[in-house]
Amino acid sequence: MAEGLLGGILGEDDEKGEVDAPETLAGAAAFAAAVAARLSVSDSQVAQDTSAFLKEQTQLLKVQREHLKDEHEARLHYLQGQAREVDIRRFGLRLRVGFQLFLVLLATAVGLGLVVMVRDAVTSRSVVVESFDAPPALIAHGATGKVLAGGLLDELRRLQSATRADAAKRDLANAWTGEIKLAVPEAGISLSEFSRMLKVRFGHDLHIEGEVLQNEEGGLALTVRGDAVAAKTFTGTTGDLSRLTAQAAEYVYSQSEPVLWAYYLTNRGRDEEALAFSKVAYAGANKADRPYLLNTWANALTNVGGPPRESLALYRAALKQKPDYWVAHNNVMQAYWVLGEEENAWKAGEAMREAAGGRPGRAPETYYQNSDFITWNLGPLLDATVADADASGGTGSNIGGVSGVLIADINVRLHDPATAELALQTIKPDPADQTTVAAAHFVRGRLAAEAGDVSRFMADMEDFQAAYAHPAVSSAFPGYNCWIAPAEEATGHPDKADAVLKTAGTYVDCYRFRADIVDGRGDWAGAQKVYADAVALAPDLPAAYYSWGVALSRHGDLASAAAKLAEANKRGPHWADPLKVWADVLAKQGNSKEALAKYDEALKYAPNWKQLKEARESIAKQKT
């Protein structure tokens, strides 16, 4: 019954079999009182025992409550500590990962730095001038070892600058095409010193060192030596120090880089030295250098007036050793041109085009220079010459030392006098370069002729004729002397014109100008025979056909003139002059539409030709 009563009071089990318990101490006390009251009805003793039991349970709950409170605070503190510990561990982990990443990055940076330093060392091709040993007497006057080495350094840089275009042309990768610098000893082992040690061990630097000694009489002995450069001493007085330094620099340069030295000598007009040096250097040169020395040998031989066929043989020998030596290909054309064999020069140009795999191809455009001149391919010729000048700071790598005069010459042929005049003004005077001075007279004479100033034309052409006597000029500009004859004829000197043509050579220009002169003197039949001879000299070149066509037009034979001009255009498709005269002929024949088309085509190749524009405008007005 008690169980039933207690069970009724406590409540039945819920669906899950769990008994609801009081949630608070107050509820427990009320619960105990209710139970005691209920049981007291049937049995007072049971009620007392129950009440006592429930009081004990209430007390126990109080103790548990306090215990849980303390435990909760402790647990909360513990959990807070754990959270802080987790945060600390997390921060430590992040710090460790960050530090590890820093070490990895640092090691990577150091490794990359070492790789770069080793790579720089392996690829280093610098000229390093070590500090010289100097006597106390010179040091007292400021000529320390560093100053002496600096003087040599300056001279080497001058030589390097003077030959850089030739180095680029040869595609060299050696010490002289890199940096030239002065080495100053450092205390301790710095990064720069470590880098220097790597370059000494793995690089291809050229180290130059030396000393200056002074005897009791005040004389100086400057000695230089270097890697693969035998020691040599240069003597003089104290006042000769600059000269001795220049001599030492030239010696070092010639011994370490014979090809560039040979180019330097020819570029400076020291052809006799270049010829002697190239001959001697060739015997001991390595296989890679020999074609270039054959080329400088031939250049020097030509410039001193040597047999052109001997130069041609040397150029061909260079090509046999190096078939893709495009400079030598261009020089073969030049040699044939000098010989007055322009048809062979044209064939050599075609052979170069084939060897290069077409045009454009493997051969740089600038080395078609001679082929472009004789075929009057003026647009590509001008573009290549300008590009060559831009690549070398205005110093061309072909005929002469300066590209400005060639640019002026081409623009005269393009009937653009303003651009030609501007190009002439950009030329830097160089007394050692006779070719540039001579060519400038030629261009000014042509400009005068274009402007109708016959007296000035004659004056400049006579100056050019005087310069042309030097073999370096005549070999650089073969056949240019032919242009002197029309100037002499125009100024009333037929005897001088005949004398020029008699000795000028077998050039197409000489023959066609002779034909023009014969025609001007009234011998039309004789002129046509000379025109035919001019065509026979070089049937694949356009100039003779052009002049013959002009003459036929002048004599009123328009159909024959058109035929010759078409032949000229076939062989020189980018030459504006035959197209312009052809258009003139078509206009005379009343074929305005075709004439206008020829004028437009000619303007593509000579866009600044004033007379061409005027002729085109005139025929255009007739059509409207």
- The predicted pLDDT at position 168 comes to 63
Q: Which residues contact 505 (CB under 8 A, 6 or more apart)?
A: 340, 478, 479, 481, 482
Mean pLDDT rounded to a whole number for the chain? 84
Structure tokens at 480: 């240019």
- What are the φ/ψ torsions at residue 128 (nearest 5 degrees)? -110, 115
On whether the CB atoms of residues 302 and 339 are closer than 8 A, the answer is: no
Choice among 117-126, 183-192, 272-281, 383-392 with the minimum mean pLDDT: 183-192
Greater confidence (306 vs 10) lies with: 306
pLDDT tens digits for range 21-61:
445 555 656 666 666 666 555 667 766 776 777 677 778 77
- Burial per residue of 180-210, b for 16 or more beta-carbon CB atoms within 10 angstroms, e otherwise: beebeeeeeeeeeeebbebbeebbbbbbbbb
pLDDT band, residue 197 (cuts 50/70/90): low
Q: Which of 3.40.50, 3.10.50, 3.10.20, 2.60.40 would CATH assign to domain 127-256?
A: 3.40.50
Please report, rounded to a whole number, the percentage of residues in the chain having pLDDT higher than 70.
81
Residue 196 pLDDT exceeds 60: no
pLDDT tens digits for range 571-583:
999 999 999 999 9
pLDDT band, residue 9 (cuts 50/70/90): very low
- The predicted pLDDT at position 20 comes to 45
How many Å is the Cα radius of gyration of the chain? 49
Kind and range of the H or E run holding 207: strand 206-214
pTM of the model: 0.76
- The predicted pLDDT at position 194 comes to 53
> Partners of 234 in the beta sheet?
222
Q: How far is CA 531 from CA 149, 389, 539, 562, in A?
A: 65, 37, 11, 15
- The predicted pLDDT at position 269 comes to 86
Residue 393 pLDDT exceeds 90: no
Question: DSSP string of 485-516?
Answer: HHHHHHTT-HHHHHHHHHHS-S-HHHHHHHHH
Helices (H) and strands (E) in the chain, counts: 29, 5
CA-based nearest residue to 406, from 435, 432, 364 = 435
- The predicted pLDDT at position 5 comes to 39
Choice among 77-86, 152-161, 523-532 with the minimum mean pLDDT: 77-86
The arithmetic mean of pLDDT across residues 335-340, rounded, is 97
Residue 6 pLDDT exceeds 60: no
3-state secondary structure of 49: helix
3-state secondary structure of 24: coil
- The predicted pLDDT at position 462 comes to 92
Pairwise CA distance, residues 253 & 98, whole Å:
55
Q: How far is CA 616 from CA 217, 428, 452, 587, 599, in A?
A: 81, 38, 21, 10, 6
Rounded to the nearest angstrom, the gap between the alpha carbon of residue 251 and the centroid of all alpha carbons in its chain is: 29
On whether the CB atoms of residues 180 and 157 are closer than 8 A, the answer is: yes
Pairwise CA distance, residues 194 & 171, whole Å:
30
In the sheet that 220-226 helps form, which strands lie side by side, from edge to edge?
180-183, 127-130, 206-214, 220-226, 229-236
pLDDT tens digits for range 402-452:
578 999 999 999 999 999 999 998 887 676 678 888 999 999 999 999 888
Structure tokens at 229: 């450069």
Choice among 5-9, 71-75, 285-289, 543-547 with the minimum mean pLDDT: 5-9
> Angle, nearest 10°, between helix axes 326-338 and 290-303?
20
Greater confidence (83 vs 408) lies with: 408
Cis peptide before 360 (omega within 30 of 0): yes
Per domain, the residue ranges of the chain are 2-91, 127-256, 376-502
pLDDT tens digits for range 146-162:
888 888 888 888 888 87
- The predicted pLDDT at position 28 comes to 59
